[in-house]
């Protein structure tokens, strides 16, 4: 079989005329309609059910199973967007979205996405769009200044904190000198057991990184936390010493500033002290990676700089503009002290990507992916549009709203706070005076957890608010996160009223009927 020397030939028919992209006039017309759609959507998003109320399969059932052979009017697709897709959207831009971490895809960020798509830049090399690379370098340096981090940090934008943490731990693995990049891990007698230490409240992305890097979940040792869900430094030291007796080598320690469940803040400075002692003792470096995906952003409020205390001693730090900096998903920033470990781990330049550009950054060398989106553009527009003072003011407002929720919980006879709330996320549960837990054989705490589960399900079914939950010390608790620019105090009060109303409905459904009324 010989390969044909030229592309195959076809009989070109009439359908070949009128090829090419959407014309400029059409683009203008549809583009204006789309911008109007977005403006209307953002203006009215608060009227929609925040959590999608569709059954599984409903969205697919509403759409043709095979693609159209012939062109369809753009307006037809927009109609399906309205009629079929929108009911299946959970509205993250909704003012009563309080699940997970509340976020905002802000106006300037949305426009930045559109502009980036228009230029369709692939920023793999500096020369494949110098502006993409240099704006990324510039804007992450802006963010570094906003967070009060020193000039020794160099940043890169990735799609997610999970990817940022994966890259950081890959750099840590490279720095061991075990040459895993070349030799891999399989079948090697000379590779010691490696450990990554993180708290029992750390994000699952640490374990996922260990899975991906071939270290395995067993390489992640989770450390107990104190009564405020912060990593216990004494327990960390004991775990490392104990592991040492079994031949483990500490690879990295990953404290969190703003854990996912309760937003607790691990004592990074004390952990860094311990790391320094350890390095001296062992004679090899131990990577310190700080996960501030959500909470780190609070440091742009000058009075809150201290939440990043100790980060100046980290090898790497991640925070997500797509969480608490109003940038449309996806956008995560990874800061590293020595980018060299990233490039040593990942740089692999095939001949067709070799350039003679000198003194430039080729971001493809810093990570897994070759092709890279122009993500810095939206972040740059967000920062320019709001200004650093404006961004700090907005974060302060979310903190004030969280205090409003804490006050509400504390003044409520049937509720209790489940954890300290250092940022804009509040964990609480119902322990109603009217509730008598425990049927025969049931643990009282399990019954209270079931009650809270039922309460949350009721709240989310209304479509008026969306909250999520977590488990703390075996107890099921609700989480209410603030971080959306459309959440006004009035709307928040209305949401709290929904919570009240649903708890009351639960009471009425539970309290046994009066004996007299039973007859
Ligand atoms: C949200 C979160 C992550 C994961 O972020 P992605 O960008 O979705 O990967 C990691 N760590 C913490 C502390 C988080 O809050």
How confident is the model over 26-50, as pLDDT tens digits? 999 999 999 999 999 999 999 999 9
Compute the mean pLDDT over every residue in the chain, rounded to the nearest whole number: 95
* Closest to 292 (Cα-Cα) out of 276, 269, 268: 268
**Inter-CA distances, 434 with 275, 300, 429, 512, Å:** 50, 44, 14, 11
**pLDDT for residue 213 is more than 50:** yes
Query: Is 164 close to ligand 1, i.e. is its CB under 6 Å away?
Result: no
Q: Give 476's contacts (C-beta < 8 A, 6+ positions apart).
A: 429, 448, 449, 450, 452, 453, 469
- Classify each residue of 310-332 as buried b or exposed e, where b means 16 or more C-beta atoms within 10 Å of its C-beta: bbbbbbbbbbbbbbbbbbbbbbb
Give the predicted TM-score (pTM) of the model: 0.95
Ligand 1 geometric centre to CA of 260 (Å): 7
For residue 479 and ligand 1, the question of a CB distance below 6 A is answered with no
Q: Determine the Cα–Cα distance for residues 456 and 467; give it in Å rounded to an integer.
A: 7
**For residue 84, what are its two tokens?**
């079929």
275 C-beta closer than 6 A to ligand 1: no
C-alpha to C-alpha distance for 216 and 220, rounded to whole angstroms: 8
* CA distance between the termini of the chain: 91
Q: pLDDT band for 10, please (50, 70, 90 cuts).
A: confident
- Among 35, 45, 141, 7, residue whose Cα is nearest residue 487: 45
CATH class of this structure's domain 122-374: alpha beta
pLDDT score, position 484: 98
Give the domain ranges of the chain.
Answer: 24-51+90-105+386-519, 122-374
Mean pLDDT of 317-331: 98
Q: For residues 425 and 100, what is the distance between their CA atoms, to the nearest angstrom?
A: 9
Q: Which of 260, 263, 470 to mutate to test the pocket of ligand 1 (most atoms within 8 A of CB)?
A: 260
Pick one of 3.90.1150.170, 3.50.50.60, 1.10.540.10, 1.10.3370.10 as the CATH number of 24-51+90-105+386-519. Answer: 3.90.1150.170
158 lines ligand 1 (CB under 6 A): no
Ligand 1 centroid to Cα of residue 122, in Å, is 25
Residue 97 tokens, joined: 């979205």
Task: Determine the angle formed by the axes of helices 161-175 and 339-346, rounding to 10 degrees.
Answer: 90
Ligand 1 centroid to Cα of residue 294, in Å, is: 7
- Report which of 486, 500, 418, 484 is spatially closest to residue 201, judged by C-alpha positions: 418
Dist. CA 239 → ligand 1 center (Å): 25
For residue 202, is pLDDT > 60?
Answer: yes
> Percentage of the chain with pLDDT > 70?
97
Pick the range with the lowest mean pLDDT from 108-112, 280-284, 491-495.
280-284
| Rounded distance from Cα 517 to ligand 1 centre (Å) | 53
- The answer to whether the CB of 260 is under 6 A from ligand 1 is yes
Question: What's the average model confidence in pLDDT over 16-27?
Answer: 88
Distance from Cα 88 to the centre of ligand 1, integer Å? 24
Lowest mean pLDDT among 35-44, 167-176, 192-201, 353-362: 353-362
What is residue 400's predicted lDDT score, i.e. its pLDDT? 98
When pLDDT is cut at 50, 70 and 90, the band that residue 519 belongs to is: very low
Q: Which of 102, 198, 203 for a ligand 1 pocket mutation test, highest count of atoms within 8 Å of Cβ?
A: 203
In testing the pocket of ligand 1, which one of 99, 261, 264, 293 has its CB within 8 Å of the most ligand atoms? 293
Q: What percent of the chain has pLDDT over 90?
A: 90
Q: What is the DSSP string of 141-191?
A: HHHHHHHT--TT-EEEEES-HHHHHHHHHHHHHHHTTS-HHHH-STT-TTP
- What's the CA-to-centroid distance between 203 and ligand 1, angstroms? 7
């Amino acid at each position: 079989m010989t390969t044909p020397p030229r592309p195959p030939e076809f009989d070109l028919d009439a359908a070949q005329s009128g090829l090419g992209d959407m014309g400029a006039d059409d683009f203008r017309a549809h583009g204006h309609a789309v911008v109007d759609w977005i403006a209307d959507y953002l203006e009215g998003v608060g009227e929609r059910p925040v959590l999608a109320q569709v059954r599984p399969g409903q969205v697919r059932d509403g759409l043709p199973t095979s693609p159209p052979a012939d062109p369809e009017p753009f307006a037809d697709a927009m109609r399906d967007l309205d009629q079929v897709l929108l009911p299946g959207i959970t509205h993250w831009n909704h003012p009563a979205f309080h699940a997970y971490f509340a976020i905002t895809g802000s106006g300037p960020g949305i426009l930045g996405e559109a502009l980036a798509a228009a230029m369709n830049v692939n920023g793999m090399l500096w020369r494949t769009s110098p502006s993409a690379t240099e704006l990324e370098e510039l804007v992450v340096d802006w963010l570094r200044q906003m967070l009060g981090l020193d000039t020794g940090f160099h940043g890169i934008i990735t799609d997610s904190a999970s990817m940022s943490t994966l890259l950081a731990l890959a750099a840590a693995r490279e720095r061991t000198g075990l040459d895993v990049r070349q030799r891999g891990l399989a079948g090697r007698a000379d590779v010691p057991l490696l450990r990554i230490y993180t708290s029992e409240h750390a994000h699952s992305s640490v374990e996922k990184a260990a899975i991906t890097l071939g270290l395995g979940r067993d390489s992640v040792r989770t450390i107990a936390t104190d009564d405020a869900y912060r990593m216990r430094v004494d327990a960390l030291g004991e775990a490392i010493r104990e592991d040492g007796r079994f031949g483990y080598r500490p690879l990295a320690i990953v404290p969190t500033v703003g854990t996912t469940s309760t937003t607790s803040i691990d004592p990074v400075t004390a952990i860094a002290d311990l790391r320094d002692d350890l390095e001296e003792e062992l004679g090899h470096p131990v990577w310190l990676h700080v996960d501030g995906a959500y909470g780190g952003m609070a440091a742009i409020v000058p009075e809150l700089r201290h939440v990043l205390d100790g980060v100046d001693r980290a090898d790497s730090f991640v925070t997500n503009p797509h969480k608490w900096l109003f940038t449309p998903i996806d956008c995560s920033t990874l800061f590293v002290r020595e980018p060299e470990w990233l490039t040593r781990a990942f740089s692999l330049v095939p001949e067709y990507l070799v350039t003679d550009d000198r003194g430039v950054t080729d971001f493809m060398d810093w990570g897994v992916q070759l092709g890279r989106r122009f993500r810095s553009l939206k972040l740059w527009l967000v920062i320019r549009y709001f200004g650093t003072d404006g961004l700090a003011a907005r974060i302060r407002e979310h903190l004030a709203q969280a205090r409003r929720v804490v006050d509400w919980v504390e003044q409520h006879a049937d509720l209790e706070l489940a954890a300290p709330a250092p940022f804009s996320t509040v964990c609480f549960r119902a322990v109603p005076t009217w509730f008598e837990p425990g049927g025969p054989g049931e643990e009282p705490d399990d019954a209270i957890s079931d009650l809270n589960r039922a309460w949350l399900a009721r709240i989310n079914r209304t479509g008026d608010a969306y909250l999520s939950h977590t488990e703390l010390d075996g107890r099921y608790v609700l989480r209410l996160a603030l971080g959306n620019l459309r959440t006004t105090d009035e709307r928040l009060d209305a949401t709290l009223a929904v919570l009240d109303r649903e708890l009351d409905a639960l009471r009425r459904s539970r309290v046994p009927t009066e004996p007299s009324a039973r007859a």
